[in-house]
Chain A
């Protein structure tokens, strides 16, 4: 089985379905093309077990398109990534995760303050 993400005109994911395996043809078409025609949208396959550019499943498959797609994710032709949480955060080219200018402390409960570009601990 494979998973497929449908994109809007801005390459934002609007829907993710579990679909037919990508090695099969549907009415003579590859799966992305057939599902895309069905919806009238661009359709891109996404890997359920790929996160941060690493494949975690036990089937031996390689990582594919950086991250499993979720509704609202973007696709840039290389991989899927979440919406940018803050203007100061940068997209890591390997993981396609958004990275803050300062790493979040590992102890305690924190939130990011974009005004001061720092982490604030919850009281």
Chain B
């Protein structure tokens, strides 16, 4: 009974909760994106569907469900069908290792406290990075299987961009790992509870990480692969209906994942802001607030900056971010030793 509880029932419940919350927050993100950017652009955004447009995401979801499923006649049918799946599944799988809060007993329902993560892997960070890399296949195969020039160009660009920016992203994360001495996500947060949040000693790593996170998720100013003005819609030009919805969800889910990693690794996860602990805000609310902050930065960047041209994008990734991240590792290692 205990075994079943610990290893099957509780994780199952957690999975349900986490995936529901993630999918719901993706929906909220679509609404927030339109509203926040609208306000920055001196306009109101969605206003018609529900009060203040709050039901807009539901309208969007219903629209995507009901669209005709168009498949280009010369497309590779099997790959065309699988590509969106390959995009969304890894994005959702990464949430397995993300800790949303401290140990909890769910208000006394459980005998032993349990993590607010589906599973506290002791290689949590490595797992997340590895699984999210699989998402590239979705983009690449989606663009290729559409059998059309624009998606192909978009997919190639996107794949090259994501692969290139994974390197500085990972290198930027090595600094905090050295300081925390563990790959477990929970362990990293605990390491920060003893001292400063890693954003301060690892400031440059933080900046590099943020820039690479934006590039990883194909967001502005690194959103050339999906730039409307140039490639119509990049790799998902030929997709419509639910398959397009999957790509769309995958993008937002990726945004939430990288923001969650940033929160955990640099901003102390569920730890309260030093000095405000007396407010007795639950740990998970702290986590959500910090996550929202990062997501807001994503939107802010999109509203403000033009986009980088593709070759400039690659040049910055390889020639600037990687050296900075490497130097950060060396300096951290020297100081740790």
Decide whether A and B assemble into one complex.
Answer: no
**A residues with CB within 8 A of B:** none
**B residues with CB within 8 A of A:** none
